[in-house]
């Protein structure tokens, strides 16, 4: 519906508006591509700028520390108040530079460790440096000790700064690599965007060429045919509603008026032919209706005839004192009635188990002691709704493919119990078993009820929206087990 609405709206547009729409799409696509590239360029420039600032700050810190060391060396060589004051002034610059480095976001733990190492090193260095300057004139031995300690710490600080610079360079290198990959990605996106815009231009150009030139070519061809005396020309069609459509409609009206008399005779012949065909259709419909009514009556008569006949045979057997035969006929009648009255319906699990018991009485009579059957139902099954013929195909397959080929026969058991949030139905036989992979075609084939195992699975899935579970396990020589899990919502 939406596609039809869009197509109708497009056809109603004039050529001018179609061209405006086309150029708008192209300009919008180019703009989106341009802003995408521009935005990413700004992002990467900002990342590069931030990386450059971090590197610059680390360099400034290294420069400030070196300047402080130099001022300390000058104050030691030429001890006076001016040199000491110059040394003290460089301390503020060091801490200012350190704080700027500290406030920057470093992703590496190594960088954070080296920054803190520089801080603690500077604290120890400044403590020793200031102590040595204080002891310069008072105690030469302590002065020398503090000076040596300050020099050793200075070497440590230089090592920390070198490692910090190396960490910073590694981060810059990683950022550069990631930016190279991102730039390559942007290049691919740009190429694909340009390719898309080019293809879009070609498609629109070809579309406009076809939609504009084809009606004009058809119109010129019909004009030549009419000029040559051939009045049987096809109507020029155009699904659009634009300027060319006006020209085409005028030509079609002119051609229609020229052929009016000839077409009127053809119309009369077509009407008579149509009347004849309609009469034949009515005759066929009446015949089909009578056949359908006959089949409907026949479908109603046959089951009643079958049940009446079975009842007559049952009463006759009862009079002849054959109770087992009566029981067999009653079971067969119940199975037929269950089949005819409940087609394509959901039934209760209780009904399914009861009719299965009737069906198995017939089979046990047929196989005698070779076939044993039992039902262990530990729940109230009257409220559980399942698709009709969910269990009988499974039991019939067990009899046909499991028990019948086994000379000594076997047992079929059905177990129904409530587990967790649903109902578990287990159909188990002690037949010959089979290889599921090799016998998949046999398992999925139709049994005598016309309903295969795969059909049972599909109907269960439709009934419970995939919330059910169906599993089949078989061991050659031991038997087969089918388990059906029905969700709690089946209990209604």
Name the residue among 374, 378, 381, 413 with its Cα closest to residue 394. 413
The residue count for the chain: 492
DSSP 370: G
CATH architecture under which domain 2-199 falls: Up-down Bundle (1.20)
CA 214 – CA 237 distance, rounded (Å): 10
CA 452 – CA 397 distance, rounded (Å): 9
Give per-residue pLDDT as tens, 26-41: 888 888 888 888 887 7
Give per-residue pLDDT as tens, 53-112: 878 888 888 888 888 888 888 888 888 888 888 888 888 888 998 888 888 756 678 888
Tell whether the model's pLDDT for residue 447 goes beyond 50: no
Beta carbons within 10 angstroms of residue 138's beta carbon: 8
Q: Supply the pLDDT for residue 241.
A: 63
Give residue 13's pLDDT band: very low, low, confident or very high (50, 70, 90).
Answer: low
Cβ proximity of 329 and 309 under 8 Å: no
CA-based torsion, 228, 234, 237, 242: positive or negative: positive
Give per-residue pLDDT as tens, 286-302: 443 344 333 333 343 34
CA 385 – CA 354 distance, rounded (Å): 14
Give per-residue pLDDT as tens, 228-257: 777 666 766 666 666 667 666 676 777 677
Domain edges within the chain = 2-199, 259-325, 342-490
The contacts of residue 373 (CB under 8 Å, 6+ apart) are: 360, 363, 364, 411, 412, 413
Predicted model pTM: 0.39
Name the residue among 29, 31, 28, 34 with its Cα closest to residue 186. 34
Question: Percent of the chain beyond pLDDT 90?
Answer: 15
CATH architecture under which domain 342-490 falls: 2-Layer Sandwich (3.30)
What distances in angstroms separate CA 10 from CA 23, 54, 98, 373, 434, one per listed residue? 15, 57, 67, 70, 63
Cβ proximity of 387 and 346 under 8 Å: yes
Buried b (16+ CB within 10 A) or exposed e, 264-286: eeeeeeeeeeeeeeeeeeeeeee
Lowest mean pLDDT segment, chosen from 44-53, 255-264, 292-301: 292-301
Cβ proximity of 354 and 392 under 8 Å: no
Name the residue among 445, 333, 428 with its Cα closest to residue 373. 428
Name the residue among 126, 144, 131 with its Cα closest to residue 65. 126
Q: How far is CA 70 from the centre of its chain?
A: 68
Q: How far apart are the first and last CA of the chain?
A: 39
Name the residue among 415, 413, 451 with its Cα closest to residue 431. 413
Give residue 225's pLDDT band: very low, low, confident or very high (50, 70, 90).
Answer: confident
Tell whether the model's pLDDT for residue 359 goes beyond 70: yes
């Amino acid at each position: 519906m939406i596609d039809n609405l869009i197509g109708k709206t497009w056809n109603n547009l004039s050529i001018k508006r179609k061209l405006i729409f086309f150029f708008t799409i192209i300009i919008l696509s180019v703009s989106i591509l341009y802003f995408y590239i521009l935005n990413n360029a700004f992002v990467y420039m900002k990342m590069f700028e931030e990386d450059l600032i971090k590197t610059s700050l680390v360099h400034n810190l290294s420069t400030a520390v070196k300047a402080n060391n130099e001022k300390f060396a000058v104050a030691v060589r030429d001890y006076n108040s001016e040199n000491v004051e110059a040394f003290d002034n460089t301390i503020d610059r060091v801490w200012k530079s350190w704080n700027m480095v500290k406030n920057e976001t470093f992703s590496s733990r190594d960088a954070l460790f080296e920054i803190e190492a520089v801080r603690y090193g500077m604290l120890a260095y400044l403590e020793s440096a200031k102590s040595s300057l204080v002891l310069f004139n008072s105690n030469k031995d302590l002065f020398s000790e503090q000076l040596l300690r300050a020099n050793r710490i200075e070497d440590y600080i230089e090592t920390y700064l070198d490692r910090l610079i190396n960490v910073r360079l590694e981060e810059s290198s990683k950022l550069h690599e990631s930016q190279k990959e991102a730039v390559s990605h942007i290049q691919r996106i740009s190429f694909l965007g340009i390719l898309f815009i080019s293809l879009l231009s070609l498609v629109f150009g070809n579309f406009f060429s076809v939609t504009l030139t084809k009606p004009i070519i058809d119109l010129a061809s019909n004009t030549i045919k009419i000029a040559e005396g051939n009045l049987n020309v096809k109507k020029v069609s155009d699904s659009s509603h634009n300027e060319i459509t006006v020209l085409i409609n005028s030509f079609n009206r002119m051609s229609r008026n020229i052929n009016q008399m000839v077409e009127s005779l053809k119309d009369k012949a077509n009407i008579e032919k149509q009347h004849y065909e309609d009469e034949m259709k009515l005759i066929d419909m009446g015949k089909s209706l009578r056949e359908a009514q006959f089949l409907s009556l026949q479908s109603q008569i046959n089951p009643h005839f079958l049940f009446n006949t079975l009842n007559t045979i049952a009463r006759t057997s009862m009079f002849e004192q054959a109770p087992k035969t009566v029981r067999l006929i009653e079971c067969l009648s119940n199975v037929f009635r269950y089949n005819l009255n409940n087609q394509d319906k959901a039934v209760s699990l209780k009904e399914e188990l009861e009719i299965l018991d009737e069906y198995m009485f017939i089979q046990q009579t047929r196989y005698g002691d070779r076939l044993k059957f039992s039902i262990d139902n530990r729940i109230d099954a009257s409220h559980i709704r399942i698709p009709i013929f969910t269990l009988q195909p499974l039991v019939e397959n067990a009899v046909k493919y499991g028990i019948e080929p086994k000379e000594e026969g076997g047992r079929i058991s059905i177990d129904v119990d409530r587990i967790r949030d649903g109902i578990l139905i287990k159909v188990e036989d002690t037949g010959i078993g089979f290889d599921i992979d090799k016998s998949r075609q046999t398992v999925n084939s139709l049994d005598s009820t016309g309903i295969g195992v795969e059909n049972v699975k599909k109907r269960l899935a439709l009934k419970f929206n995939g919330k059910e579970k169906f599993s089949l396990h078989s061991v050659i020589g031991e038997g087969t087990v089918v388990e059906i899990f029905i969700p709690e919502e089946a209990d209604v």
